[in-house]
Amino acid sequence: MEKSHIIWNEHHPDDPILPDELIHHKDRNHYNDDPDNHEKMKKGAHIILHHTGVKRSASSRKKMSESSKGKKHTPETRKKMSEAHKRKSPSAATRKKISEARKGQIPWTKGRKFSAEHRRKISEANKGKSPSAATRKKLSEANKGKNHPFYGKTHSEKTKAKMSDARKMYWKRKGDN
């Protein structure tokens, strides 16, 4: 047990340090074990406190990436992470910040081609599925007015003529059957 934990437990016998907690030194000097300099906090909050906004060099990021390769989370940990994500949804302000940060970036899927096997799997997974009435209504509402991709645009005379000819051909073939 660390010295700061022992000091904390001596001064706060009714508030022991739990396994997911630690002692933060308020002045960030870990040699200063004055009880007034100690603050108990969750490990995750402590990491955020010390690492938010930290810029790391490319070599440091590479070392960190290499050190975690091949390591797997236990099924229990994966389940906990999944549950934690289900409860969280970013606020409107956070979503706006993310949107602004991503503007101008190329999507990670752009230019990638799915293998025939992967396309087959996607096809199989979606067979027989159709959007619910509520989803269809939402999509319809989302594409009305100024949100419609063709809003404010018109077909050229040449395009209108092609569309007319295509319709005429269609009905002509239908009449021949």
Spell out the SS3 assignment of the chain. Answer: CCHHHHHHHHHCCCCCCCCCEEEEECCCCCCCCCHHHEEEEEHHHHHHHHHCCCCCCHHHHHHHHHHHCCCCCCHHHHHHHHHHHHHCCCCHHHHHHHHHHHCCCCCCCCCCCCCHHHHHHHHHHHCCCCCCHHHHHHHHHHCCHHHCCCCCCCCCHHHHHHHHHHHHHHHHHHHHC
- Return the percentage of the chain with pLDDT > 90, whole number: 30
Look at residue 7 and tell me if it is in a domain.
Answer: yes
Look at residue 70 and tell me if it is in a domain.
Answer: no
pLDDT surpassing 80 at residue 1: no
Pseudo-torsion of CA 139, 86, 81, 60, nearest 10°? 50
Domain extent, residue 23, equals 1-52
**Short-list 49, 54, 51, 6, CA closest to 24:** 49
Look at residue 160 and tell me if it is in a domain.
Answer: no
Chain centre to alpha carbon of residue 176: 55
Look at residue 31 and tell me if it is in a domain.
Answer: yes
The structure tokens 């018109």 sit at 154
49-89 pLDDT, tens digit per residue, is: 888 777 888 898 888 888 888 888 899 999 988 888 887 77
CA angle 68, 71, 75 (to 5 degrees): 135
Domains held by the chain: number: 1
Q: How confident is the model at residue 177 (pLDDT cuts 50, 70, 90)?
A: low
pLDDT surpassing 80 at residue 48: yes
Look at residue 44 and tell me if it is in a domain.
Answer: yes
Number of neighbours of residue 37 by Cβ within 10 angstroms: 17
- Return the percentage of the chain with pLDDT > 70, whole number: 98
Q: Are 40 and 19 in contact (CB under 8 A)?
A: no
Q: Which pLDDT belongs to residue 153?
A: 93
Question: What tokens appear for 83 in the block?
Answer: 């549950």
Look at residue 39 and tell me if it is in a domain.
Answer: yes
Q: Are 25 and 37 in contact (CB under 8 A)?
A: yes
